Amino acid sequence: MTTMNGTSYLPEEDMLSPILGELKRTVREYTTATTEASCPVVRQMFTDLTADTLKLQGEFFNMMKQQNMYSPGLHALKTDVDKQHKQAQQTIQKTRDTINQKTSGMGAFAHHPNVTPHATNVEPSPYN
pLDDT digits (tens, 9 = 90+) for 45-76: 999 999 999 999 999 999 999 998 877 677 88
Residues 54 and 90 in one domain: no
Check residue 31 and give its pLDDT.
97
Residues 27 and 87 in one domain: no
Q: What's the average model confidence in pLDDT over 86-100?
A: 92
Domain of 128, in residue numbers:
75-128
* Contacts of residue 80, Cβ cutoff 8 Å, sequence gap at least 6: none
The answer to whether 50 and 31 are in contact (CB under 8 A) is: yes
Residues 38 and 95 in one domain: no
Residues 95 and 69 in one domain: no
Check residue 71 and give its pLDDT.
73
pLDDT tens for 101-117 read 988 866 555 555 544 44
The answer to whether 55 and 82 are in contact (CB under 8 A) is: no
Using the Cα atoms of residue 14, residue 19, residue 20 and residue 25 in order, give the sign of their dihedral: positive
Q: Is 6 left (phi over 0), alpha (psi -120 to 50) or beta?
A: left
Q: What's the average model confidence in pLDDT over 35-44?
A: 96
- pTM, rounded to two decimals: 0.59
More confident residue, 9 or 57: 57
